[in-house]
Amino acid sequence: MAQQAQEKYEESNLYKIRHSAAHVMAQAVLEMFPEAKYTIGPPVENGFYYDFDLPRNLTPEDLEQIEKRMRQIVQGKHEFKKQILSAEEAKKIFADQPYKLELIEGLEKGGMDEYGNPLKEKPEISIYQQDSFTDLCRGPHVENTREIKPDAFKLMSIAGAYWRGDENNKMLQRVYGTAWENAQQLKDYLYQLEEAKKRDHRKLGKELEIFIFDDEIGPGLPLWLPNGGVMIEELEKLAKEMEEKAGYLRVRTPNLTKEDLFIRSGHLPYYAESMYPPMELEGVKYYVKPMNCPFHHKIFGSKQRSYRDLPIRLAEYGTCYRYEKSGELFGLMRVRSMQMNDAHIYCSEEQFEQEFMGVVGLYHKYFELFGIEKYVMRLSLHGKAGLGKKYVDNERLWIKTEEMVRRAMDNGGVPYVEAEDEAAFYGPKIDVQIWSAIGKEFSLATNQVDFAVPERFDLKFTNKDGNEEIPLCIHRAPLSTHERMVGFLLEHYAGNFPVWLSPEQVRVIPITDGQNEYAQGIVQQLRENGIRVSADISAQRMNAKIRQAQLMKVPYMLVVGENEMNAGQVSLRVRDGSQQNNIPLGEFVARANDKIVRRAKEL
């Protein structure tokens, strides 16, 4: 969660319910395993967890028993009682709990949190007690256990977790649970989880033959199958149309460069851990590119520029490579090879607001096209502590450009939230969070301001007074990467893409072999009209052919028998279940082309 959202969550009653449910769960676990050592149990975004050091591995049957005991405990209306103690008093209470003793020592000596990170202020040492259970805890909690509704929580899973997240420490057992304010909220959440499983882009990507991964290729390096290739072509076509209307110029850059480029850009000291290691040839080090921006800077700087030339908008669907850790790879959402809907806008300070909001306007057009109804734009700011390390060391320009972004968003009437210490190393940015049709959150795209790197590349333009100025640079990627965008769209539509985006738009299904030639003729006519189509002339029965087309989520099925063939017609079956028999082929072509050209949401 962004910082503001997290702070709001921590102040909510739901946070207290989940925190209290974690304590109730720990009580139930310790009753089952009196010799257990317990660690921490915080609320998280959709629930809570608690980490335990237990004498044996937990089983799903154990979770059922723990959950049953939790329901008994919450009915007892046990009060959550807080008590502030000295370190010595706390150590006596937790004398046989080594993890708690370690936490107490951290609080006592250096004001360290449960993960060993320094706290801004030395905290008080407090405990909470309910019924027979006592825990070292800052709170907050509900007043009593009855506020945790017995039909509004559920234990979800068991996982391994290293103590304090350090792989050098002991592996513990983490029990995840979810808790809500009422039974309906829990029911809705569980439904959403079940629906999310059905919509998992990794599952659908395989079933619909969109993409694969292969061990011999390498983790995080997707192979796009023909159906995925179609989707990529359609997304690029969309981007090119939108960007040409907005005055973008398309460029192409190599996937390889000398290290000097990234030393000059500043990416190597800031970004080296996310880059593939260099290769050395003839005494020169080369890197595969993790981003396109330094290349675009070189293109801008390849000739003299005047204020009359600005703004200059350079766009490229460039392929980039980033070395994500193996444990962080996740389907198409976190990969090592990506094709980014990238562009860099070079403009004067006077042009900044119009250009920046032009990018925001692109976002809104895409939201409308894809039916994205819920989104959040997050203004990611620098953190003063990171100046010179995580961020370019120029506090004055940080403050100035952050205010420029605020003013642009405010003047444009676009709502946003702010998050400290999440900026790019060279400037503030707007990060875009979107929600799919079932409410699953995705990080989609970014709109970044760069006040630092153009100067590194000695980028200049001549202003109206004949003096040289350094342009501002806006980095933007409204359609994210092909990988992340296709992953999102798979889950958003559950694979039921609108006609324009569907890899296969029409499937012709002859009832018998006698209509195969007629079906092939229809295929030829549709292809001549730019429609993606195939014919199923297999030996299967008609119903099996229809079922196969439905499994592949083809929008339109044209069933042709002897009557349709003799009349030059087709019978239309639409993916949504509607049907229309005996329609002229030309009428169907006009209908399909209308949906495709308009990029219509409806079938």
Least confident of 17-21, 209-213, 267-271, 294-298: 267-271
d(CA 332, CA 211): 9
Share above pLDDT 70 across residues of the chain, in percent, rounded to a whole number: 97
Tell me the whole-structure pTM to 2 decimals: 0.84
pLDDT beyond 70 at 333: yes
What is the residue-wise DSSP string for 41-83? --EETTEEEEEEE-SS---HHHHHHHHHHHHHHHTT--B-EEE
Confidence of residue 165 (pLDDT cuts 50, 70, 90): confident
d(CA 353, CA 348): 10
d(CA 141, CA 14): 10
pLDDT beyond 80 at 389: no
Q: What is the pLDDT of residue 422?
A: 86
Phi and psi at 330, nearest 5°, equal -150, 100
Q: Which residues, other chains included, contact 89 with Cβ-Cβ below 8 Å and sequence gap of 6+?
A: none
Q: Hey, what's the torsion of the CAs at 110, 115, 120, 125, to 10 degrees?
A: -60
Query: How many C-beta atoms surround the C-beta of residue 348 within 10 A?
Result: 17
CB 335 within 8 A of CB 274: no
Q: String of b and e for 561-573 (b: at least 16 CB within 10 Å)?
A: beebbeeebbbbb
Q: Which residues, other chains included, contact 130 with Cβ-Cβ below 8 Å and sequence gap of 6+?
A: 20, 23, 24, 27, 78, 79, 80, 81, 141, 144, 145
Confidence of residue 8 (pLDDT cuts 50, 70, 90): confident
pLDDT beyond 90 at 7: no
Q: Which amino acid is at 314?
A: L
CB 420 within 8 A of CB 385: no
pLDDT beyond 60 at 1: no
- Render pLDDT for 222-269 as a digit per residue (tens, 0 to 9): 999 999 999 999 999 999 999 999 999 999 999 999 999 999 988 887
Max CA separation in the chain (angstroms)? 94
- Please give the average per-residue pLDDT across 471-484, as a whole number: 95
pLDDT beyond 60 at 116: no
- Please give the average per-residue pLDDT across 97-104, as a whole number: 95
CB 603 within 8 A of CB 580: no
Pairing of strands 472-476, 441-450: antiparallel
The encoded tokens of residue 464 equal 């109206």
**Residue indicated by tokens 């290691």:** 277
Q: What is the pLDDT of residue 4?
A: 60
Give the H/E segment covering residue 295.
helix 293-300
- Render pLDDT for 183-192 as a digit per residue (tens, 0 to 9): 999 999 999 9
Pairing of strands 312-321, 249-250: parallel
Paired strand residues for 154: 178
- Please give the average per-residue pLDDT across 533-549, as a whole number: 96
Share above pLDDT 90 across residues of the chain, in percent, rounded to a whole number: 85
Q: If you count them, how many residues does the chain have?
A: 603
d(CA 12, CA 24): 19
Confidence of residue 445 (pLDDT cuts 50, 70, 90): confident
Q: Which residues, other chains included, contact 279 with Cβ-Cβ below 8 Å and sequence gap of 6+?
A: 285, 286, 287
Q: Which residues, other chains included, contact 542 with Cβ-Cβ below 8 Å and sequence gap of 6+?
A: 509, 511, 559
Paired strand residues for 174: 51, 159
pLDDT beyond 80 at 95: yes
pLDDT beyond 70 at 53: yes
Confidence of residue 21 (pLDDT cuts 50, 70, 90): very high
Name which of 149, 147, 123, 148 is nearest 137 in CA terms. 123
Sketch the domain layout of the chain as residue ranges.
Answer: 3-192, 206-493, 506-598
d(CA 560, CA 554): 16
Q: What is the pLDDT of residue 106?
A: 87
d(CA 348, CA 358): 15
Average confidence score pLDDT of the chain: 93
d(CA 247, CA 71): 62
pLDDT beyond 70 at 518: yes
Q: What is the pLDDT of residue 498?
A: 98
Q: What is the pLDDT of residue 206?
A: 96
What is the residue-wise DSSP string for 545-577? HHHHHHHTT-SEEEEE-HHHHHHTEEEEEETTS
Helix (H, G, I), strand (E, B) or coil at 464: coil
Q: What is the pLDDT of residue 476?
A: 95
DSSP code, position 262: H
- Please give the average per-residue pLDDT across 42-51, as a whole number: 94
Q: Which residues, other chains included, contact 534 with Cβ-Cβ below 8 Å and sequence gap of 6+?
A: 504, 506, 507, 508, 523
pLDDT beyond 60 at 470: yes
pLDDT beyond 60 at 65: yes
Q: What is the pLDDT of residue 9?
A: 79
pLDDT beyond 70 at 119: no
Q: What is the pLDDT of residue 5?
A: 64
d(CA 153, CA 150): 6
Q: What is the pLDDT of residue 114?
A: 56
More confident residue, 325 or 50: 50
Q: What is the pLDDT of residue 57?
A: 96
Q: What is the pLDDT of residue 109?
A: 77
Give the H/E segment covering residue 268.
helix 267-271
Confidence of residue 117 (pLDDT cuts 50, 70, 90): low
Is the CATH number of domain 206-493 1.20.1740.10? no
Q: What is the pLDDT of residue 213?
A: 97
Fold of 3-192: Threonyl-tRNA Synthetase; Chain A, domain 2 (3.30.980)
pLDDT beyond 90 at 391: no
| End-to-end Cα distance, the chain | 36
d(CA 15, CA 204): 34
d(CA 431, CA 23): 35
d(CA 93, CA 82): 14
**Residue indicated by tokens 């893409």:** 497
- Please give the average per-residue pLDDT across 378-401, as a whole number: 87
E-strand stretches of 305-382? 312-321, 337-347, 375-380
Fold of 506-598: Rossmann fold (3.40.50)
CB 300 within 8 A of CB 453: no
CB 471 within 8 A of CB 296: no
Query: How many C-beta atoms surround the C-beta of residue 56 within 10 A?
Result: 8
Q: What is the pLDDT of residue 361?
A: 95
